[in-house]
Amino acid sequence: MGIFVDKKSKVVVQGITGRDGSFHTRQMKEYGTNVVAGVTPGKGGTGFEGIPIFNTVAEAVKKTGANTSVIYVPASFAADAILEAADAGVELVVCISEGVPANDMLKVYNYLKSKGVRLIGPNCPGIITPGVTKVGIMPGHIHKKGSVGLVSRSGTLTYEIVYNLTLRKLGQSSCIGIGGDPIIGTNFIDCLAAFQADPQTTAIVLVGEIGGSDEEEAAKFIKKYVTKPVVAFIAGLTAPADKRMGHAGAIISGGTGTAAEKIKAFQAVGVPVAKTPGEVAALVEQKLKASESKSKAKPAAKPAKKAAAKKPVKKAAPKRAAKKPAKKTAVKKVKAVIKKVKVLKAAKSKSSPKAKARKK
Amino acid sequence: MKIHEYQAKEIFATFGIPVPKGKMATTAEEARNIAADYGRPVMVKAQVHVGGRGKAGGIKYCNNADEAFANAEKILGMDIKGLTVRRVLVTEASDIAHEVYCGIIIDRAAKKPVIMVSAEGGIDIEEVAAKTPEKIHKLHVDPILGIQGYQARELAYKVYSDPNTANQAAKIIQKLYRCFMESDCTLAEINPLVTTPSGEVIALDAKINIDDNSLYRHKDFEGLRDVAPAEESENEAREAGLSFVGLHGNIGCVVNGAGLAMATMDLVKHYGGEPANFLDIGGSSNPDKVVTAMRIILRDPNVKAILFNIFGGITRCDDVAHGIVKAVAEFKPQVPIVVRLTGTNEEEARVILAQSHLPAADTMDGVVMKAIELAKVA
C-alpha cells in the first residue's frame, strides 16, 4: 500500500532529456519505477534508454496509459507543464522544479483543485513507496520498506531522517516531500489523512519548518482525526526573522511562523517534537513500542473501554485488526476521516462568502 | 525583493493608481532643487527597506525649498533600525481629510490573494490583525477569475460612506490587484490611502515586495534592487544561485537544501556552538557554487571552522567534492574544514576527497560536533 503512488503508477517524465530529468529517470528505472514515457517538445518519436519520447503529455497518456507525471523542467516552464499534465488526464502530478513564481501557483493550485488532480510540490523531492516505486529525486538506497509514513516540507532533511530511521530498522510505508514553497499542491493535512487511512502505516513522522501555519493546522488535525502515533521535527529554531531561509516559504514574517510556535502547537496536542533530526527515529521507536503494548492490553481491559467511551474523540488504536468487526469499524473510521477532511477543506475555501456566491 | 516607496509609486503610476508627484534625491542639494521646482510644501521621506520611518524621524514636512534642504541633510545618513538612509523621496505634501488602509498579500492557507482594507489608515496592519482582527475587512479573490467590479465596490463601501470616494477607492482596489498579479508582488500596500479635502483619493504611501522567483520575467525590476552594504554577501550568493544569510556565530556552514541547512544551524546551537551563517548551495550544484560559498564564508573574520553537510539527492556528492578540492586549492583556508557527504554518488566523492586529506565525518551530529571542537582549538 503506502500513499499516492504504488505498483500501478505508470510514470511519464516531463523534461526527460534535460540534465536532471535524464539522470533521475535512470535512477527511477533502476529503483523499479514503471517509467512508461518521456516528454520533450520537439523530440517526439525518439527515445531515452528504451523509453519512448513524445511531444506532448496528452500523446504520452494516450499511447502509454501514463497516470502519474513527474516534472523536471526549468521553473519558467513548470506552471505550463503542471497544467499540461492535468489537462492530459493524469491523476497525480509531482513537480520537482524549484523557483516557480507564487502567483502562477495560485492559479495552478486552484485550477487543479477544480479538476480533482493531485499535485505534489513544486520545489519538492517527490514521493517514494519503498520497495515499490519512487517518483522523484530521493536517493532510493537509503529507504527501507516498512510501516513509518513520513511527510516533510524539506528535501535533504527528509533524507537525513529517513537514513536514521533505516539505520534503526524502521522501514517506511511512503515518504513524501510536499515542497518548500508558500503555495504547494499537497499539504500536511492531506498526507496525514492518507497515512491515517493507509493500513500499512503504523506511525507518522512530520517534518516542518519556519513560515506559514501549515504545522499549526496539522496539529489541530492530528488532535481531531489521527489515532496513529505521530512524531515531529521542526527546522529553523535559530533562523532570524524576515529573512527567506532558502525555501521561498521559509520566512518568519510579522512575528508569525516561528519554529517555537510550531513546536508548541505539536506539544499541546501530545505530539513529541525531536530536538535533533537524529532523535526522530528514537522517538518513533518509543511511540511504536508504547502503542503496541497498549493495543495488546486493550481488548481485555474493561476500564480502558470505559475511558474510550467517555471521550468525544475516540483515541482507540486502529491497529487492532485481528478481529473482523474491528477491521470494519477501522475502515468506517478512516472513511469518516477522509470525509471530514473534505468538509474541512471546503469550509476553508469558503472563507469569503462572496467567492462562494460567485462559484454558484 | 523589497523595493523603495518611490519605486513602488512609479509602478503604481503605470497601473493608473493616483500618487502625489515626487522625485528621489541622494543629496540635500537635489532635494532643495526638487522642492523649489514644485514651488509648494513638500514631504522629505527616508527611503529604507524598513517600517516605522516616521517614528524614527525619517519623514518631515517642509514649507519651502530651504526647509527641504535642511531636513534632507538631517535624514540622509540617518540610521533607521540598523539601515543607513542613502536616498530620500521629495514629494508634494497633501492635505488629509480621511485615511484608510489597503493591502494585498497571498493567503498561504486559503491559497488565494487576499485584499485587506481597514477604516484606520496609517496603522500597523500586523498589530491590528493580531489585536482587533474585526477592524480588517478581507476579500479572497479567485486567482483564475480575477477581481470583479462588484467585489471591489463591496469592499470600498465597507470603509467609505460617500459614493464619490467609494467609487474612486473601488477603482484603486482593482488597479492594485492588477498590479499585484502582473508585477508578481508578494505584498502590495497603500498605507495610507487618503482622501483630500477636495474629495480626491490618492495613495500617499506605497509598499511593494516582489517575488524573487518571478524576476526572470521582470528584467526591468532588477535595476530596482538597492543592496545595503550589510547585504552584499547575500546578494553575491543570490547571483551565484546560492541562498546565504549571515549570522553572528563562528561555525561556517555549507549545506545542500534549505531544511537541512536550517537543521544544521539548529544542531550547531544544540551542541553549544553558534552558527556563522545559513548557506544552501541548492540542487543541481556545480563545483563553482561550492567555490563561491567558500569565498563568502571566508570573508567573515568571525569564522573559526567550516563544516560541509551534504546529503545528495539531485545534488551529486562528487560535484560537491570537486568544488571543495577546487576551493581549498584556490583559497588555502587557514580555518579547519570538516566534511560529511552522503547520498547520490557518495562513493565517487569519497575517492575525490581522499586526495585532499580533510577531516571527514559520517553523520550530521558527528560533523557538527567535530566543527565545534575544532573552532574551540583554533
What CATH number corresponds to the domain at position B194? 3.30.470.20
Q: Is B73 helix (H, G, I), strand (E, B) or coil?
A: helix
Instruction: Name the B residues in 146-205 with CB < 8 Å from any A CB.
Output: 148, 151, 154, 180-181, 184, 186
- pLDDT for B234-261, tens place per residue? 999 998 989 999 999 999 999 999 999 9
Residues of A in contact with B140 (CB under 8 A): 351-352, 355
* A162 vs A136: CA distance, rounded Å: 15
The DSSP output letter for B10 is H
Question: Longest Cα pair distance anywhere in chain B, in angstroms?
Answer: 78
B142 contacts on A by Cβ (under 8 Å): 110, 355, 358-359
Distance of residue A320 Cα from the nearest chain B Cα, in angstroms: 35
User: Within a domain: residue B8?
Assistant: no
Q: B29-47 pLDDT, tens per residue? A: 999 999 999 999 999 999 9
Mean pLDDT of B210-220: 95
Same domain, B44 and B122: no
What is the C-alpha to C-alpha distance for residues B172 and B153, in angstroms, rounded to an integer? 10
User: What is d(CA B290, CA B358) in angstroms, rounded to the nearest whole number?
Assistant: 15
Q: Is B33 on the interface with A (CB under 8 A)?
A: no
Q: Are residues B104 and B198 in the same domain?
A: yes
Task: Tell me whether residues A110 and B275 touch, CB distance under 8 A.
Answer: no
Are B185 and B207 in contact by the 8 Å Cβ rule? The answer is no
Among A106, A154, A248, the residue with its CB nearest the CB of B111 is A106
Average pLDDT, chain A: 87
- Same domain membership, residue B235 and residue B212: no
Q: Are the beta carbons of B213 and A76 separated by less than 8 Å?
A: no
CB–CB contact A180 B280 (8 Å): no
B343 band by pLDDT with thresholds 50, 70 and 90: confident
Mean pLDDT of A229-234: 98
Q: What are phi and psi of B337, to 5 degrees?
A: -125, 130
- For residue B307, list its beta bridge partners: B253, B338
Residue B9 lies in a domain: no
Contacting residues of B for A354, CB less than 8 Å apart: 139, 151, 154
User: All 3 cell numbers of residue B320?
Assistant: 560537491
Same domain, B88 and B102: no
Q: Kindly determine whether residue B343 and residue A139, on different chains, have CB atoms separated by under 8 Å.
A: yes
Query: Is B271 found in the same domain as B339?
Result: yes
Contact between A280 and A224 (Cβ < 8 Å): no
Which of B116, B158, B260 is the best substitution to test chain A (most A C-beta atoms within 10 A)? B260
Q: Are residues B206 and B321 in the same domain?
A: no
Q: Count chain A–chain B contacts defined by CB atoms under 8 A.
A: 206
Q: Is there a contact between A135 and A11 (Cβ–Cβ < 8 Å)? A: yes
Same domain, B266 and B280: yes
Q: Where are the beta strands (DSSP E) in B243-336?
A: 243-246, 251-255, 277-280, 305-312
B10 inside domain: no
- Is B16 part of a structural domain of the chain? no
pTM score: 0.88
Rounded Cα–Cα distance for residues A151 and A158 (Å):
8
Q: Is residue B7 domain-resident?
A: no
Query: How far B257 CA sits from the closest chain A CA (Å)?
Result: 6
The DSSP 8-state label assigned to residue B303 in this structure reads -
> Which residues are registered as beta bridge partners of B259?
none
Q: A257 to chain B: which residues are within 8 Å by CB?
A: none
A11-283 has CATH 3.90.1310.10 classification: no
Q: Which residue in the set B144, B212, B217 is minimally distant from A111, CB to CB?
A: B144
Q: pLDDT (tens digit, 9 = 90+) per residue, B43-81?
A: 999 999 988 899 899 999 999 999 999 999 999 999 998
For chain A, the three-class secondary structure string (H helix, E strand, C coil) is CCCCCCCCCCEEEECCCCHHHHHHHHHHHHHCCCEEEEECCCCCCCEECCEEEECCHHHHHHHHCCCEEEECCCHHHHHHHHHHHHHHCCCEEEECCCCCCHHHHHHHHHHHHHHCCEEECCCCCEEEECCCEEEECCCHHHCCEEEEEEEECCCHHHHHHHHHHHHCCCCEEEEEECCCCCCCCCCHHHHHHHHHHCCCCCEEEEEEECCCCHHHHHHHHHHHHCCCCEEEEEECCCCCCCCCCCCCCCCCECCECCHHHHHHHHHHCCCCECCCCCHHHHHHHHHHHHHHHHHHHCCCCHHHHHHHHHCCCCCCCCCCCCCHHHHHHHHHHHHHHHHHHHHHHHHHHCCCHHHHHHHC
Do both B367 and B234 map to the same domain?
Answer: yes
CB atoms within 10 A of CB B329: 10
**Partner residue opposite B140 with nearest CB, options A142, A255, A352:** A352
Residue B306 lies in a domain: yes
How many CB atoms sit inside 10 A of residue A325's CB? Answer: 7
Q: Which of B96, B288, B295, B66 is nearest to B196 (CA)?
A: B96
Which three cell numbers mark B71?
531636513
* pLDDT at res. A20: 87
| B315 and B251 belong to one structural domain | yes
Active site includes B189?
Answer: yes
B319 lies within 8 A of chain A by CB: no
Catalytic site includes residue A24: no
Length of chain B as a residue count: 378
Judged by CB atoms closer than 8 Å, whether chains meet at A250 and B258 is answered as yes
User: Is the residue at B4 inside a domain?
Assistant: no
The residue among B92, B114, B141 that closes a domain is: B92
B-chain residues near A233 (CB < 8 A): 263
Q: How far apart are CA A16 and CA B38, in angstroms?
A: 60
Please count the structural domains in chain B.
3
Full residue range of the structural domain in which residue B32 is found:
21-92
d(CA B299, CA B82): 21
Same domain, B233 and B373: yes
Helix or strand or coil: residue B189? Answer: strand
pLDDT for B150 beyond 80: yes
Nearest to residue B8, comparing CAs of B25, B30, B24? B24
pLDDT per residue over A5-49, tens digit each?
Answer: 999 999 999 999 998 899 999 999 999 999 999 999 999 999 999
d(CA B76, CA B86): 6
Amino acid at A321: A
* Euclidean distance between CA atoms A27 and A139, whole angstroms: 8
- Give per-residue pLDDT as tens, B295-329: 999 999 999 999 999 998 778 899 999 999 999 99
Distance CA B100, CA B122 (A): 7
For residue B284, what pLDDT band results from cuts at 50, 70 and 90? low
Task: Say how far apart CA B308 and CA B366 lie, in whole Å.
Answer: 11
Q: Is residue B212 part of a domain?
A: yes
A354 to B154: CB separation less than 8 angstroms, yes or no:
yes
* Residue A244 Ramachandran class (φ > 0 left, ψ -120 to 50 alpha, else beta): beta
Contact B259 A240 (CB under 8 A): no
The verdict on ipTM greater than 0.90 is: yes
d(CA B157, CA B119): 10
Going by the DSSP 8-state scheme, the letter that residue B229 receives in this structure is G
Helix (H) or strand (E) holding B141: none
Same domain as B295, residue B167? no
Interface probe for B, chosen from A103, A107, A213 (most Cβ of B below 10 Å), is A103
Say how far apart CA B188 and CA B233 lie, in whole Å.
Answer: 27
pLDDT over 70, % of chain A: 82
- In B, minimum Cα distance to A238 occurs at B266
Q: Which three cell numbers stand for residue B287?
A: 563545483
Mean pLDDT of B155-183: 97
CB B10 within 8 A of CB B22: no
Last residue of a domain, one of B187, B202, B222: B222
Interface test with chain A among B242, B344, B372, by most A beta carbons within 10 Å: B344
- CATH no. for residue B317? 3.40.50.261
Query: What is the per-residue pLDDT for A316?
Result: 44
A-facing residues of B in 271-290 (CB < 8 A) are 275, 278, 280, 282-284
Spans of all domains in chain A: 11-283
| B330 and B241 both lie in a single domain | yes
